Amino acid sequence: MDAKVKPAMHDKSILVCRSAALRDDAISTVAELNSWFVNYVDSSEELLERIEQYHYDILIIGIPADAEQTVSALAEIIRLRPDAVRIVVASNLSPTLTARVAEVAHSCLPFDCTDVQISCAVERALKVIGLIQRPEIKRVIGGIKRLPSLPAIYEKLNQALMSGHANANDISEILEQDPAMAAKVLQLVNSAFFGLERQIYRLNEAVTILGLRLIRDLALSSHLFEALPSGYGWDSFSFEQVHQRSLLVARLAQDISRSVGADRNAQAQAFLAGLLSDFGMLLLANHDPEGYRQVVGLSGEMQQPLYVVEKMNIGVSHAEAGAYLLGLWNLPPAVIEAALFHHFPASSASDEFQPLTAVHVADALLAPVSSAYDAKISSQLALKYLERLGVEHKLNDWQVLAAKYQ
């Protein structure tokens, strides 16, 4: 059945791009169980045409092993429908295509996935989107006069990475277009956070040693943490320390992901999510410096986690504020979910180890930022969540990893 208007009796509408990798029977079962309305197309060209014309809540895209064109269309899909759930069903993708899909899809499922797997992936993505689109968050973020923007350099770096053809020289040439950012990236690369055996002076060498994605993510982090709050009594609290701790969380989250055998895409997303997990604090502090300073002080006085006191006084936590802005920027869904849930990971609908898990554990195991306010910024380890995932036995190993960064 095909239609141009979503019938009122259906809660959600799905657009499915068929391929040999996608089983129609699984889609039909999911749609029937959830009362979802389904349209089908047979190519990425048709998919883009339909998205431009009609509203769809969920996009399920089958990708065969050689479908370079379909993968390339995903970036355009985000531009056209940034709030749609994007589920990819793929068959034996190359490592390059897998990495590109991981940047833009909410979930990438195997070609033999079941209706239950599809339904769970969709519901998980809808939950995150619903939470970060709440009116309270839009109200607070909408009241910020000058929202930070993605640096043009980041977008160029991202395009180069998504092309699948970029090398160390390409990335360093892009970074060199912004000398201040290039200098900051080199400063971070040569800091104690990476523990390199010798000083690195050339960007292309830094890219070769640490990887294209990591350099891109450091560039984004250094840009976002430039506008640190000052005045209003902030001498007693260091946002520079928050940034430095975010680097440690990122490194440890990457190590934790590696320790459980997560693929390189998941490791990279854990690193980026760790870098940006507390970025929402800067948003709230720059929005109302005096008011937020009082919130930070209350956290210490009440001996309550900062995100709890934020919700009580502002109506929005720094995790929610950060995740909302990362969503506006179309950062990888796994990164957005990790930023949103890193203090309370049990809220995630997933029962699998993911970047969120790594960031939560890293944030809980590392020492908090020290300040005169004694605010509780770090996470409290969610043992029941780890037990739900069946990874609680790894905790001792992770504590050993964390000891390197204390």
In this structure, are residues 56 and 15 in contact, taking their beta carbons and an 8 Å threshold? yes
- Of 238, 239, 254, 246, nearest to 275 by C-alpha is 246
293/285 Cα distance (integer angstroms): 7
Amino acid at residue number 185: V
Domain-wise residue ranges, the chain = 13-133, 140-403
- Average pLDDT per block of 10 residues along the chain, 406 residues long: 40 78 68 76 87 88 70 80 84 74 82 81 83 81 71 82 81 84 81 77 84 85 72 64 88 96 91 92 84 87 89 92 86 91 93 96 87 74 96 97 90
pLDDT for position 7: 37
Give the per-residue pLDDT at 1.
Answer: 38
User: How many CA atoms lie within 13 Å of 388's alpha carbon, on the beta-carbon side?
Assistant: 15
Q: DSSP secondary structure string, 311-348?
A: HHHTSS-HHHHHHHHHHHTT--HHHHHHHHHTT-GGGS
User: Which region holds residue 233: left if phi is over 0, alpha if psi is between -120 and 50, else beta?
Assistant: left
Asked if the 140-403 domain carries CATH number 1.10.1060.10, the reply is no
Long-range contacts made by residues 341-346, C-beta under 8 angstroms, separation at least 24? 342/273, 342/277, 342/379, 343/305, 343/307, 343/317, 343/319, 343/379, 343/380, 344/382, 345/382, 345/385, 346/382, 346/384, 346/385, 346/388
Query: 258-273 burial by CB neighbour count: b if 16+ within 10 A, else e?
Result: bebebebbbbbbbbbb
pLDDT at res. 398: 98
Residues 356 and 338 sit within 8 Å (Cβ to Cβ): yes
Per-residue pLDDT at 23:
64
Q: What is the pLDDT of residue 172?
A: 87
pLDDT at 234: 61
Cα separation, 14 vs 203, in Å, equals: 45
* Distance, CA of 128 to CA of 327 (rounded, Å): 10
Cβ neighbors of 380 (< 8 A, separation 6 or more) are 305, 343, 364
Contact 120, 311 (CB under 8 A): no
Q: Phi/psi zone of residue 255: left (φ > 0), alpha (ψ -120 to 50 degrees), beta? A: alpha
In this predicted structure, what is the pLDDT of residue 26? 67
User: What is the C-alpha separation between 170 and 398, in angstroms, rounded?
Assistant: 36
- The values of phi and psi at residue 161, to 5°, are -65, -40
DSSP summary character for residue 379: P
**Chosen CATH of 13-133 out of 3.40.50.2300, 3.90.1300.10, 3.20.20.210, 3.40.30.10:** 3.40.50.2300
CA distance 87 to 118: 8
Contact in structure between 144 and 172 (CB atoms under 8 Å): no
pTM of the predicted model, to two decimals? Answer: 0.78
HSE toward the beta carbon, residue 285, CA cutoff 13 A: 22
* SS3 category, 59: strand
Cα–Cα dist 366/368, whole Å: 6
Q: Is 289 exposed, middle or buried (0-12, 13-18, 19+ CB in 10 A)?
A: middle
Residues 285/297, Cβ–Cβ less than 8 Å:
no
Res 401: pLDDT: 96
